[in-house]
Structure 1
Amino acid sequence: MGWFLLRRRREPSYRFAQRPARIGLIRGLLGTVFLLSAVVLVLGALSVYQYVQLSADRPVARVDVAADGPQQFRVSLTTPEGRTQEFVIAGDQWQLEARVIRWRVPVALAGVPPIYRLDRLTGRYADIEKERTATRTVHALDGWTLPDLWSLQRQFPQWLPFVDADYGSATFLPMLDGGVYQVSINPRGGLVATPADEATKARLQRTGW
C-alpha cells in the first residue's frame, strides 16, 4: 500500500517533466514549418520578379534576321531593356514563345494583370516533312535555373490555387534576309509579331503574308 501511494505521488512530477520536452518539440516543428513557408514565399517573390506585368499592349522584343546559308539564319533578339541575344536558327520561320501566368479568383477579381516571361526562340520549316525530319533549333531565352512560379504551380497546384500556369503563347513569321520584326504582347497574354519597317512589310506581302 505504501509503495502504491509513493508511486502515485511521483507520477505528477514525471508527467510535468515531460511537458517541456513536448512543448519544445511542437515549437521546433512549428519553427520548421514557418521557415519552409518563408523560403517558399521568397522563391515565389523572386519568381514573380522574373515576369513582367501586362496592363496594356507592350513591345517585348525586336527581331533582326540575316541569312547565314540555305535555311540558316542569324537572329538577333533585343528586349525593350536593351539586352540583345544572337542565335543561329535553322528553317524558314522564326518562332518566339512566352510563358504567361494568369490569375484565378479572387486575385483576378482584384484586377491584378497577367504576367509573362519570354521562354524560347525556335526555328520552323514551311514544309511539314522537313519539320519532322530536318535539323531543329531551340534556344532558351531565360537563365532562371531555380523552379519558377510556372513550374511550381504545375508541380504543386495545391500550394498556389490562385495561379493559372496552363497558358503559353507563341508567334512566328518568315525569316527574310535583312528582315526586322516587332513582337508585342497584349493584356490577355497573346504574342503578336509584325514587320518593324516598311521594307519588311512589303516583302512579307509579296510572299503572301
Structure 2
Amino acid sequence: MNWNELLRLPATLLAILAGIVLLVALAQLLAARQHVRDRRHLAASGHTLLMLVLLTLGIFLGGLAVSLQGYRFLSEEAPVVQIDSRILTPQRWALTLTWPDGATREVRLAGDDFQVDAIVLKWKLPAVLAGLPPLYRLDRISGRYDDARQEMASPRTVIDFSQAGQGDLLDLRKQLPDWLPEVDTLFGSGAFLPLVDGGHYSVSLMRTGALVARPDDATQQRIGQPLGG
C-alpha cells in the first residue's frame, strides 16, 4: 500500500494528527521546563496548561483512531471461493469452484441452493488489535432444497473439503485447548444462495468470522428477488 492510499484512511489521518499534537505537547513541556529554570513561573504555567490541553487532545484523537481502525478491520473481507453454476437437469447442478490462488474444481450438487460451510478460528482481543485476522478452513459445500419436506426425502449431496491432519491448527485447538492461549473460539460459519443457470457467486470471510455469499448483478437479476445484505 502506498502513501496516497494510507492517507485516504480516516483512522490513519487521525493517528497522524494525534502524533503531531503529542509532539507539540512535548515541545510545550520542554519550554515549560526551560522557563522553570529561568524562574519565569508565569510563562511556565502557561506552557504547562497548554501541554495538558494538547496531551488530552492527542490521547482523544489516538483513541478515536484506534476505534475507527477496529471498525475498518470488521468490514474487511478475504476472498474464499468463486462459484459458477450450470444446470444439468431440474435441481441438479454442475458447479465450478475457483480459489484465490487460481485452483479450480468441478462438483455436482442436488437441490435449489448451494451452501458453503467453513471452520473459523478467532483470536483474543490482544491478537486482534495486533492485526491478526481470523483463520478459516473451508469445510464443505452442499446442496440445499427450499422445501424442508423435500430436504428430508430427496437425495442430498455434500462435498467434503476437509484436509486436516494430525498437525492441523484447528484440530490442535480442540485436542489441546491450553496450547494456543491466544485463540478465543472455534466455530462453524456458513452461507447459502439460490442456484441459477449461468450464475456467478463470490464467497468471502469477514473479520468477524462470518462467511458472506454474494451473486453478481446478472445472477441477482436471474434469482428474481432482492436479497438482504
TM bucket normalised to smaller: 0.5 to 0.7
> Structure 2 length as normaliser, TM-score?
0.61
Which residues of structure 1 form unaligned runs of 5+?
1-53
Superposed, 1:108-187 pairs within 5 Å as: 108-187=128-207
Preserved CA contact (<8 Å) 1:55 1:113: no
Q: Would the alpha carbon gap of residues 177 and 192 (structure 1) be closer, same or farther in structure 2, given more than 3 Å must change? A: same
Runs of 4+ in 1 over 4 A off after TM superposition: none
Which residues of structure 2 form unaligned runs of 5+?
1-73
Match of 1:74 in 2: 94
Preserved CA contact (<8 Å) 1:183 1:192: yes
The structure whose Rg is larger is 1
Query: Structure 1 CA distance, aligned partners of 2:186 and 2:163?
Result: 21
TM-aligned CA deviation for residue 85 of structure 1: 0.9
Match of 1:61 in 2: 81
Preserved CA contact (<8 Å) 1:102 1:164: yes
Preserved CA contact (<8 Å) 2:164 2:171: no
Query: Structure 1 CA distance, aligned partners of 2:131 and 2:87?
Result: 44
Q: Would the alpha carbon gap of residues 71 and 127 (structure 1) be closer, same or farther in structure 2, given more than 3 Å must change? A: same
TM-aligned CA deviation for residue 127 of structure 1: 0.6
Query: Structure 1 CA distance, aligned partners of 2:222 and 2:134?
Result: 34
Query: Structure 2 CA distance, aligned partners of 1:82 and 1:173?
Result: 23
Does residue 86 (structure 1) correspond to residue 97 (structure 2)? The answer is no
Preserved CA contact (<8 Å) 1:154 1:165: no
SS in 1 for 2:172: helix
- Give aligned pairs, total: 154
Query: Structure 1 CA distance, aligned partners of 2:126 and 2:221?
Result: 46
- Please tell me the residue identity of whatever aligns with 1:203: R
Preserved CA contact (<8 Å) 2:115 2:191: yes
- State the percentage of identical aligned residues: 44
Query: Structure 1 CA distance, aligned partners of 2:153 and 2:100?
Result: 35
Q: CA RMSD in A?
A: 2.1
Query: Structure 1 CA distance, aligned partners of 2:91 and 2:128?
Result: 44
* Residue from 202, 205, 210 that aligns with 1:190: 210
TM-aligned CA deviation for residue 147 of structure 1: 4.5
Q: Which has the higher contact order (CA 8 A, sep 6+)?
A: 1
Query: Structure 2 CA distance, aligned partners of 1:126 and 1:75?
Result: 18
Preserved CA contact (<8 Å) 2:113 2:192: yes
- Please tell me the residue identity of whatever aligns with 2:130: A
TM-aligned CA deviation for residue 192 of structure 1: 1.1
- Please tell me the residue identity of whatever aligns with 1:114: P
